[in-house]
Structure 1
Amino acid sequence: MLPLAPLAVMSIQQLPPAALAYLGDAVYELYVRRFYLLPPKRLQSYHSQVVAQVRAERQADHLRSLMPSLTETELEFVKRGRNAATGRPKRVDLSVYQQATSLETLIGYLYLTNPQRLVQLLAQLEFDRPI
Structure 2
Amino acid sequence: MDEFIKKMQDHTKVKSEAEARMMAPLVLAYIGDALYEVFIRNYLINEMTVSVNQYHKRATHYVRAKAQSHVVHALESELSEPEWTIVKRGRNQKSATVPKNADLTEYKYATGFEALLGYLFYIGQYDRLHYLMSKAVALINHDLGDQNG
Is the aligned partner of 1:64 residue 2:73? yes
Of all paired residues, the percent bearing the same amino acid is: 30
Work out whether 1:30 is the aligned partner of 2:41. Answer: no
Can you list the C-alpha shifts for 1:49-87, whole angstroms capped at 9, x where unaligned?
A: 112211111111111111110001101101100111444
Q: 1:90 to 1:51 in 2, by over 3 A?
A: closer
1:45 aligned partner: 54
**Structure 1 stretches of at least 4 aligned residues deviating more than 3 Å after TM superposition:** 85-88
Corresponding residue of 2:106:
96
Structure 1 position 110 matched with structure 2 position 134: no
**What SS class does the counterpart of residue 13 from structure 1 fall into?**
helix
Q: Which structure has greater helix proportion?
A: 2
1:19 maps to a residue whose letter is V
Q: 5+ residue gaps in structure 1?
A: none
* CA distance in structure 2 between the aligned counterparts of 1:69 and 1:85, rounded to whole angstroms: 26
TM-score by length of 1: 0.89
Pick aligned residue for 1:122 from 122, 127, 133: 133
Q: CA RMSD in A?
A: 1.7
1:105 to partner: Cα distance: 0.4
Indicate if the aligned counterparts of 2:66 and 2:103 stay in contact, CA closer than 8 A. no
TM-score of the two chains, using structure 2 as the length reference: 0.79
- Amino acid corresponding to residue 51 of structure 1 in structure 2: T
Paired residue type of 1:23: I
Rounded Cα–Cα distance in structure 1 between residues aligned with 2:121 and 2:94: 20
Paired residues, number: 129
